[in-house]
């Protein structure tokens, strides 16, 4: 079985790492890695290959950043050349970035079967580009590898045949468990002069939060209030860094010693900070899952989430974007007034093995 695994953005790399390791253990599978170059900054890409021990990509498409249309088109044009040359049996894509949809469309139009890892997630917000990507990818895929029951229900409600739906668990958690002891050994909080459980950790990057100057300023105002009670660490995404300068907000943050901005961190250092945080404020999807498994209170700064199981089962609360709600919920977490949560079924560190087993079974391979 010849497989092309496609990745291109920071959220993809922790998802493909355990899958690549599982593929490498099976003699009957020939696997090649395609890096689209959607994230090409060393801080957003190269460090993940080092931390996660990913092999060098067999193909680097170098598409770079652009509008959604241009980026998707560039991936399609370049990836088609790879598929025509390699003639794979399966194209495996993960998550919901532009590279995911672009590669899936190329494959299905060329008659190549598609496996989508992290299928079925829905925010029910069609204004999110990721929602369009994940829905369209699901509807052209042959294998829909789901992380939780919510995903299976969503696919069923959209009329997708149950034979294509494969509950396997969460590959992000495979990577977390594989790296957790290494990450804790980095002692990331101590490097920043912080004590375990003595700080809040923030990530912000979604356009709805950082591209609107009024919204970004309101969120930063809430973070400054929280920093008056507990140090706040903010590894800042390149997009958010640019917006700070563009909107003239940098000087306001520089005057707040409790709010500490730093450059984007590699996976292990960030996971170490995440594991020992008192609370986490984020607009990321994957961090909602990681905090649930680590038992860390998570405040999601969005109006919706495609990962509701982290709310119904885990440690996540959808607090929205009102500064008052952000601050009040943060202070509650600081006081220890937060739900404990449990780990969802199949989030046990073995999702990648289930994916490979299913593909082998369907191809009749040992």
- Catalytically annotated residues: 205
The CA distances from residue 2 to 5, 33, 83, 359, in Å, are 10, 11, 11, 11
Phi, psi at residue 201, to the nearest 5°? -120, 135
Helix, strand, coil in percent for the chain, rounding step 5: 50, 15, 35
With a CB cutoff of 8 Å and minimum separation 6, the contacts of 103 are 6, 34, 36, 75, 76, 79, 91, 93
CA–CA gap between residue 79 and residue 93 (Å, rounded): 12
Residue with structure tokens 């990818």?
137
Residue with structure tokens 């943060």?
330
CA–CA gap between residue 215 and residue 210 (Å, rounded): 7
How far separated are the first and last CA of the chain, in Å rounded?
Answer: 11
Q: Is the dihedral of CA 158, 16, 205, 294 positive or negative?
A: positive
**Residue 48: how many other CB atoms lie within 10 Å:** 24
CA–CA gap between residue 60 and residue 70 (Å, rounded): 17
Q: Which letter does DSSP use for residue 139 in this model?
A: H
Tell me whether strands 232-235 and 298-300 are parallel, antiparallel or unpaired.
unpaired
Q: Which letter does DSSP use for residue 183 in this model?
A: H
CA–CA gap between residue 14 and residue 179 (Å, rounded): 10
Q: Is the dihedral of CA 283, 289, 292, 294 positive or negative?
A: negative
């Amino acid at each position: 079985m010849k497989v092309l695994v496609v990745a291109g953005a920071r959220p993809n790399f922790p998802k493909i790492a355990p899958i690549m390791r599982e593929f490498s253990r099976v003699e009957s599978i020939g696997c090649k890695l395609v890096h689209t170059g959607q994230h090409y900054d060393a801080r957003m890409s190269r460090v993940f290959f080092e931390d996660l021990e990913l092999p060098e990509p067999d193909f680097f498409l170098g598409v770079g950043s652009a509008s959604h249309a241009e980026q998707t088109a560039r991936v399609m044009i370049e990836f088609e050349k790879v598929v025509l040359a390699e003639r794979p049996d399966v194209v495996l894509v993960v998550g919901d970035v532009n590279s995911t949809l672009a590669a899936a469309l190329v494959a299905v139009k060329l008659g190549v079967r598609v496996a989508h890892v992290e299928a079925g997630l829905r925010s029910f917000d069609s204004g999110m580009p990721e929602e369009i990507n994940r829905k369209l990818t699901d509807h052209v895929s042959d294998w829909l590898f789901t992380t939780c029951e919510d995903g299976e229900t969503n696919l069923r409600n959209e009329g997708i045949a149950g034979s294509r739906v494969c509950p396997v668990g969460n590959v992000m958690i495979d990577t977390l468990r594989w790296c957790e002891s290494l990450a804790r050994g980095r002692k990331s909080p101590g490097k920043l002069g912080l004590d375990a459980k003595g700080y809040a950790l923030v990530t912000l990057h979604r356009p709805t939060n950082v591209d609107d100057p009024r919204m970004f300023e309101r969120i930063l105002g809430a973070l400054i209030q929280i920093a008056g009670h507990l140090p706040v660490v903010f590894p800042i995404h390149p997009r958010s860094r640019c917006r700070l300068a563009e909107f003239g907000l940098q000087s306001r943050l520089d005057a707040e010693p409790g709010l500490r901005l730093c450059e984007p961190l590699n996976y292990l250092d960030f996971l170490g900070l995440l594991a020992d945080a008192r609370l986490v404020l984020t607009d990321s999807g994957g961090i909602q899952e990681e905090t649930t498994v680590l038992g860390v209170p998570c405040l999601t700064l969005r109006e919706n989430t495609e990962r509701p199981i982290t709310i119904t089962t885990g440690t996540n609360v959808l607090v929205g974007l009102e500064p008052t709600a952000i601050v009040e919920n943060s202070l509650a977490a600081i006081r220890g007034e937060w739900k404990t949560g449990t780990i969802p079924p199949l989030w046990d560190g073995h999702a990648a093995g289930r994916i490979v087993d299913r593909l082998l079974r369907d191809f009749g391979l040992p």
